[in-house]
Chains A and B, each alone.
Chain A
Amino acid sequence: MTDSLETARHPETLKRVCIEPLTRVEGHGKVTLLLDDDNRVRQARLHVVEFRGFERFIQGRPYWELPVLVQRLCGICPVSHHLAAAKACDQLVGVDVLTPTAEKVRRLMHLGQVLQSHALNFFHLSSPDLLFGVDDPVAHRNIVGLIQDHPEIAKQGVLLRKFGQEVIRITAGKRVHGTGALPGGINKHVSAQERDLLQADIDQVCNWAEGAVQLMKRIILRNPEYHYRFGAVDANTLSLIRPDGAFELYDGGLRVRGPQGDTLMDHQDCNNYEQLIQEEVKDWSYMKFPFLTQLGPECGWYRVGPLARVNNCDCFHTPLAEQERQDFAAAGEGRPLQAALATHWARLIELLHCAELIRELLADPDLQGTDLRLSGAMRSKGIGVVEAPRGTLFHHYEIDGDGLVTRANLIVSTTNNNQAMNTAIRQVAADYLSGRELTEPLLNQIEVAIRAYDPCLSCATHALGRMPLDIELQDAAGLTLDRLYRHPDGRLGRSPVLDS
């Protein structure tokens, strides 16, 4: 099986191919492949090459700084970190239930976050691949090409993202690294004027979101065999769930389902995450490999994010998203969809759900309430879990009697997907690359599988983007046999035998 591709037996006898840095992912990562003399892939690894050390350097800081400090992990989903930290701080200040205004404003903020991040991934990053094909010229396969060829789609993407950012600005104070959530509540409500501003656009936003789901369905139907097969990995799935089994992003219990859709755990209390999950360290990556303790490191790894969430939930409580979910479930013919590219479909169903739910929430007069913040008896430990755009996000803090942090543990969404992404690239390497000659479109397939997970290596690390491509083929002695690279204008170049 593809798992055997994690570690080759005699690496010193194999050729090394390196894809570095990965392009159009958020963060710095690279993939190495080891090939034998017949170009068969013997080892494939996704390495995360960045480390920042938040868990240590926030020790000694006062707990109330956490929501504004820790969101600097990620400028793409800062609200998710802001809220996970705030939820942990709610426990620290002894508040189990927020005021209705605080809870609803926070939920609204988070819906804006998920909506903007999903729009960014689909329209700005992924749609060029999906619309133009993976072997479209590199110089054209980007947002500029999208603006030229499909100006209407590009404009809708930009404006959907803008709307999500405006929801964040109004609820959190500013678009990136806002300050809206406080331990025990929030610091401002949504005024009637601000509500009117958002309400003016929300119907249009719902229509565009609906259009995006239909667009993705048309893309899949153009070549269903490819879209359902590519990077398909049988995985356990983990996500938050409501008490009634419905889709949830802000607060709930944990559900785990097996690869066939059988429920392995349900409504688990997030406060017990330490008993449920452990993280394995591997020498070759700064990103750890989480697994379910009960199943062990071999079988206990899991997928999080849109694909996991839409597979895991029993229903959506908004009509349009629920209708789309039923179509999605039907496509799996009784099993959960496991294909990497089905993630884009699930992502857009979620985007539609966020738009519908924002419309519902905006009509709620509690947003204009003035009861913003509660406090209780201080506790020494707080755990906050939310569904960030890319999946389940865990924040865990402990404090001393002075309120200073003594211990912290963060498991970010992309880390939760570490093994799933590694397995997906091994699958693609075995299916499409093994035994063939090295070309850019072939290697790009590896990246397409990674991108479908929308990894935010920035959460553990940094940098969105279509970054450079430079692939070197070396023999066992480290001698470069072949080199494939992109010129600054996007053309591909090849320079054989560099260092002889």
Chain B
Amino acid sequence: MLSREVSDVSAKPRVATASLCGCFGCHTSLLDIDERILQLVDLVDFDRSPLTDIKTVGDCDLGLIEGGVANTENLEVLRAFRRHCRTLVAVGACAVNGGVPAMRNALALRECLEESYVRGVGVYHPGIPRDPEIPLLLDRVHPIHEVVKVDYVLPGCPPSADTLWTFLTAWLSGQPIAFPYTQIHYD
């Protein structure tokens, strides 16, 4: 059964969202629910998300992840989300299969870095940045299911606002999640 378990029945469900190696288009699509956001803030509490100042993800009922895993920092954030979110959703092509950033998987990472910082047009003072303050890149961009268990996937680049709304309202009401054809039809 697709019913939502909430730790404290009197509390509103807590929702966290994060962008890993994505373009933020999936978050933009979430904001595209437009006026419905005024309703949404009554229905759920936001935990870590672009809309709040909350640092680490706390215990949540739902976690939405945009983007794949491209560096060590993405890995940490994703694992923290899995630990703290009862239900974890891969939102959009990048989280589901790596998306456009995973096009670099066909190449050696060094080649991509050299193109930007050594051989590129108008590069002055060439050299690949390697200060300890910047995180290590992984040699490949991974979809999130290669790293943690994922409960739902919402494909699309990005999934439409209506698709996200259908998912959220069905999830909130504990109903089976079913989409009309128009919402699972891609360009």
Q: Using a CB–CB distance below 8 Å, which chain A residues touch chain B? A: 23-24, 26, 28, 30, 32, 45, 47-53, 55-59, 69, 72-76, 78, 120, 124, 138-139, 141-144, 147, 151, 154-155, 158-159, 161-162, 165, 173-177, 179, 274, 277-286, 288, 291, 297, 396, 407, 409, 458, 462-470, 485-490
Contact = CB atoms under 8 A, between A and B. Distances in A.
Contacts of B51: 124, 142-144, 465-466
Nearest to A70: B100
A177 B92 CA distance: 12
A283 B131 contact: yes
B42 to A, nearest CB: 9
A57 B32 contact: no
A47 B29 CA distance: 28
B180 interface: no
B29 to A, nearest CB: 5
B107 interface: yes
Interface string B114-149: 111100111111111111011101000000000000
Contacts of B18: 463
Contact of B31 (A124, A154, A277): A124
A56 B104 contact: yes
Q: Lowest 10 A-B CB distances belong to which pairs? A: A75-B25, A465-B50, A488-B58, A468-B55, A53-B112, A463-B19, A486-B55, A56-B115, A284-B131, A409-B121
A58 B116 CA distance: 12
Nearest to B111: A56
Contacts of B41: 143-144, 147
Interface residues of B, number: 74
A144 B47 CA distance: 12
Interface of B: 18-29, 31-32, 34-35, 37-38, 41, 46-59, 66-67, 70-71, 73, 99-101, 103-104, 106-107, 109, 111-117, 120-131, 133-135, 137, 157-158, 160-161, 187
Contact of A281 (B121, B127, B161): B127
A279 B122 contact: yes
Given A52-B21, A147-B41, A465-B50, A283 B158 contact: no
Contacts of B37: 143, 158
B22 A75 contact: yes
16 contacts: A49-B73, A73-B23, A78-B25, A120-B31, A162-B32, A278-B123, A279-B124, A284-B133, A462-B20, A462-B23, A463-B22, A464-B19, A466-B51, A468-B54, A469-B53, A490-B53
A490 B55 CA distance: 8
Contact of B23 (A49, A75, A139): A75
Given A53-B112, A75-B158, A283 B29 contact: no
B73 A28 contact: yes
B122 A462 contact: no
Contact of A284 (B113, B117, B134): B134
A10 B113 CA distance: 29
Contacts of A282: 125, 129
A151 B49 CA distance: 21
Contacts of B114: 56
Given A53-B109, A161-B31, 17 more contacts: A49-B135, A53-B116, A74-B25, A75-B158, A138-B54, A143-B37, A144-B46, A162-B34, A176-B28, A279-B122, A462-B23, A463-B20, A466-B50, A470-B55, A488-B59, A489-B54, A489-B58
Nearest to A163: B34
Contacts of B126: 281
Contacts of B56: 468, 470, 485-486, 488
Contacts of B70: 50, 52
Contacts of A155: 35, 38
A55 B113 CA distance: 9
Given A57-B104, A274-B121, A74 B24 contact: yes
A173 B55 CA distance: 36
A154 B22 contact: no
A468 B41 CA distance: 20
Contacts of B116: 51, 53, 55-56, 288
B34 A75 contact: no
